[in-house]
Structure 1
Amino acid sequence: MKHLLPKLLIFMIILLTAPSAFAEQTKQNTSELAHEAKSAVLLERDSGKVMYDKNSHEKLPPASMTKVMTMLLIMEALDEGKIKMKDKVRTSEYAASMGGSQIFLEPGEEMTVEEMLKGIAIGSGNDASVAMAEHIAGSEEEFVGRMNEKAAELGLKDTSFQNTTGLPEKGHYSTAYDMAIMAKELLKYDRITKFTGTYEGYLRENTDKKFWLVNTNRLVKFYPGVDGVKTGFTNEAKYCLTASAKKGNMRVIAVVFGASTPKERNGQITKMLDYAFSQYQTYPMYKRNQIISSVKVNKGQNKKINLVTSEPISLLTKKGENVESVKKEIKQKGDIHAPVRKGTELGTLILKKDGKVLQESPLVAEKDMDQAGTWTLFKRTISDWTKWNE
């Protein structure tokens, strides 16, 4: 018994100190994920949960990562039917004059929206970005205004855009966290990864000016699952990257600002992605555009309109944890009047466990609904009156 006491004491010390030692080791490991970057963040796309943070709200020049917002507004316009992939886009003198990375558009040259998007996503074309901005909004200035409006709509308080390209300009800045949220919103549109996830391609294929595009994001080729989103570099910003990768059901967004070299930037993004996929798992709950409920619309062509999810919804946990007993709660706006436009936010889906809110996500109108005509409203009134008096 006398010999067992020292061993028992040692065992108790190990047992008591192991959890704190493990926590300290985990903290140390995560602190090394992006130690060479000015700022960084790692989050899971569907839930928006942050898994790693380093100065993620520090305002810094985003360089060409600015084009994440440019592409977001292009994809929104496509989704709303305001433009189509096959529409022709004419290049102005101003768009063709852009310096920096470009696809060498000439004044008056026309490309389709699809080709322009290819030039932005793969080749980081400043000229293509301005041409698309003018096509959608009439001028780059107007488009930049819409970029800032969208940033405000997303609740991004540390972002200010002065151009569509990321070329250095006073008052043009963002943060790692804000950039991740922009990427989160962009990735709602599945079609975008067709462009951001392509390593190489061509423009002007059937001409003598065939132009080879190589993705500035080399991880698209060298890290399994990476399919976006945008690199950035200026002398002021250094090497930046907003990356997205998907494995199984889990999509991760990793952002790095201010790395000294492309190798450092890619290495730190790789560490963050490895950490996310090794330590966490997701439980998909709903797909985008899935019908969740319906809500009454006053004086609409139909009495009710379906509410659908505005984004994919998943729950994030550490590996080994489960999401049993998750409850769904729906909050709907009241007193809704026609007309209603597709995508208008009309409610909120809330997921809870043991009374704790795990996630909230907007519910939006499934489609447009115009006002009902006078005859329709009259028949509806008669029908309601008849039912009331039965």
Structure 2
Amino acid sequence: MKRYAYITGMALFMSFILALPVLAEEQEKQADLNLTEDAKASILLERDTGDVLYEKNAHEKLPPASMTKVMTLLLIMEAIAEDKLSLDEQITISERASSMGGSQVFLAEGEQMSVDDLIKAIAIASGNDASVALAERIAGSEEAFVQLMNDKVKELTLENTNFVNSSGLPAENHYTTAYDMAMIAKELLKYEKVINYTSIYEDYLRKGEENEFWLVNTNKLVRFYPYVDGLKTGYTSEAKFCLTATAKKDDMRVVSVVMGADSAKNRNAMTMNLIDYAFNHYESEKLYDPGEKVASLRHIQSEKWNYDIKTSEQISLLHKKGEKEAGEVETAVKIKEDIQLPIHKGEQVGTMTVKKGDNLQIESPLIVEENVEIASYFTLFKRSLQNIAKYNQ
């Protein structure tokens, strides 16, 4: 009888030991479910692939507050990349821009400020006045700029976002979702220079002048939490505390969105939970750098004979740590057929696809980083003579 009891006890003990890994895994899963317990909505994704690593009510429409400025910054960075705006250009502040309420850097009507400083004011201090000033410069009016914002929403095929202003001040019918905000941030991060602004913790406007203004980043994590280098906080009484954040470790960049937290402290804590989860459980394998040449464009009517085709963003594969998927990685470049000239700098001319086995992993735009102009008559004539000479050799 005692021997039977001993064997039974040992069996129960061994069952318990064998069950420990399963219990630990279940506890980890349960902990994962509570990464953003106190948020109305949240999401975590890897930037290069867009793979969603965690989500909670990610498609619920909510007010974004100043996270709206992620889209504003996207259109600003696009304009700079397309040479429609330069960092040293001086912008004259309008009466409308100077009169904006909420968070501001107290721009005066008629004051002139560089694009570079206005971007700092948006990215660091969430200046509503600076947002309107650049919106007016790019589109002529804030209303026209808002139309560009919503056009971009459609271009990104986002279905649950509508903007009414460029700043995020409370307004009827101004909403987005955690998922849509993450995808806007993913697009913004193609322009890596934006991190030069969003990662600044403190700076000054009008430094050394009588009306010098101290900028302090509303996103405290850029100073106090490793790897975080952006992007944008938000708060209104309706939206509560929100944060679209990004962090990079080694070659892996993630984007997190937390919406509707009850305090800045909880918002930051939930953001840290998401980022820790990403870096603890996943790793990425970089395939191409942004701006890496992958092909050449030749067009019989172009001014130059060869133009470099480059990646528009970093291209990577994502996998769980210690669990690389089977299958060879295959990349392919497809150039658009019947390309019409001229082609503007930054315009998409093709697509890079990445497959692993039979599974399509990534489709990424390929671009030209210079204008492709229509050849002059002189260039075409000279090219014809060169072809005739080759033919007669």
**Please, which runs of 5 or more residues in structure 1 have no aligned partner?**
none
**What is the correspondence of 1:63-82 to structure 2 with a 5 Å cutoff?**
63-82=65-84
**What is the correspondence of 1:150-169 to structure 2 with a 5 Å cutoff?**
150-169=152-171
1:228-277 CA distance string (max 9 Å, x none): 10000011100000011112222111100000111110110011111111
Task: Tell me by how many angstroms 1:291 deviates.
Answer: 0.8
Residue identity (%): 50
| Counterpart check, 1:223 vs 2:225 | yes
> 1:287 — aligned with what?
289
1:296–1:336 Cα contact (<8 Å) kept: no
> CA 1:116–1:377 in 2, change beyond 3 Å: closer, same or farther?
same
- Which deviates more from structure 2 when the two are superposed, residues 267-276 or residues 205-214? 205-214
> 1:206 — aligned with what?
208
**What is the correspondence of 1:312-327 to structure 2 with a 5 Å cutoff?**
312-322=314-324, 325-327=328-330
> 1:191 — aligned with what?
193
Q: 1:365 aligns with which of 365, 368, 375?
A: 368
Q: Which amino acid aligns with 2:204?
A: Y
| Counterpart check, 1:345 vs 2:345 | no
1:298-339 CA distance string (max 9 Å, x none): 422234432211111111111123477211122221121321
> CA 1:266–1:19 in 2, change beyond 3 Å: closer, same or farther?
same
- 1-structure distance, mates of 2:95, 2:28: 54
1:116–1:128 Cα contact (<8 Å) kept: yes
> 2:35 — aligned with what?
33
**What is the correspondence of 1:1-390 to structure 2 with a 5 Å cutoff?**
21=23, 24-322=26-324, 325-381=328-384, 384=387
Number of matched pairs: 389
- Which deviates more from structure 2 when the two are superposed, residues 37-46 or residues 190-199? 190-199
- 2-structure distance, mates of 1:356, 1:166: 39
- 2-structure distance, mates of 1:303, 1:6: 81
**Please, which runs of 5 or more residues in structure 2 have no aligned partner?**
none
2:162–2:176 Cα contact (<8 Å) kept: yes
- 1-structure distance, mates of 2:341, 2:355: 32
Q: Which amino acid aligns with 1:336?
A: I
2:82–2:344 Cα contact (<8 Å) kept: no
1:19-52 CA distance string (max 9 Å, x none): 7645533331211100110100001112211110
TM-score, normalised on structure 1? 0.93
Q: CA RMSD in A?
A: 2.4
3-state DSSP of counterpart to 2:91: strand
1:346–1:364 Cα contact (<8 Å) kept: yes
- 1-structure distance, mates of 2:92, 2:324: 53
Task: Tell me by how many angstroms 1:386 deviates.
Answer: 6.8
- 1-structure distance, mates of 2:102, 2:176: 20
2:81–2:346 Cα contact (<8 Å) kept: no
